[in-house]
Amino acid sequence: MRSIFYLALLCLILFQFDELKAQHQDVNERPEMYKSKGANAVDTGSILGAFKGGKVQGHFRYFFMNTVNEGSLTDYYANAAGGGLRFETAKFHNFQFAISGFYIFNIGSSDLTKPDPISGQLNRYEIGLFDLEDPLNKGDIDRLEEFYLKYHFNKSSLIFGRQLLNTPFVNLQDGRMRPTGTDGLWAEINEIKGLKIEGGWLYAISPRSTTKWYTIGETIGIYSAGLNPDGTPSKYPNNIKSNGVALMGIKTNLTKHLKLQVWDMYTENVFNTAMLQSDLVVPIKNETNFIFAAQIIKQDAVNYGGNQDQSASYFLKDGRSLSFGAKLALKNKTWETSLNYNRITAEGRYLVPREWGRDPFFTFLPRERNEGFGDMHAIMAKLDYKLPKSGFKTSLAAGYYKLPDVKNYAMNKYGLPSYTQINTDFRYTFAKALKGLEAQLLLVAKINAGQTYGNSKTVINKVNLFQTNFVLNFHF
pLDDT, position 16:
45
* Cα–Cα dist 97/76, whole Å: 41
State yes or no: pLDDT of 15 exceeds 50: no
State yes or no: pLDDT of 31 exceeds 50: no
**Sign for the pseudo-dihedral over CA of 414, 130, 102, 162:** negative
Identity of residue 228:
N
345-397 pLDDT, tens per residue?
Answer: 999 999 999 999 999 999 999 999 999 999 999 999 999 999 888 999 999 99
Q: Which of 309, 9, 313 is nearest to 144 (CA)?
A: 9
Q: Across residues 290-312, what is the average pLDDT?
A: 97
pLDDT, position 40:
53
pLDDT, position 36:
55
**Sign for the pseudo-dihedral over CA of 177, 173, 392, 433:** positive
State yes or no: pLDDT of 226 exceeds 90: yes
Residues 375, 360 contacting (CB under 8 angstroms): no
Q: Across residues 158-178, what is the average pLDDT?
A: 95
239-295 pLDDT, tens per residue?
Answer: 999 999 999 999 999 999 999 999 999 999 999 999 999 999 999 988 899 999 999
Q: Which domains are assigned to the chain?
A: 2-475 (2.40.160.10)
409-434 pLDDT, tens per residue?
Answer: 999 999 999 999 999 999 999 999 99
126-137 pLDDT, tens per residue?
Answer: 999 999 999 999
Share of the chain above pLDDT 70, in %: 91
Residues 215, 201 contacting (CB under 8 angstroms): no
Least confident stretch, 31-35, 115-119, 139-143 = 31-35
Question: What's the whole-model pTM score?
Answer: 0.91
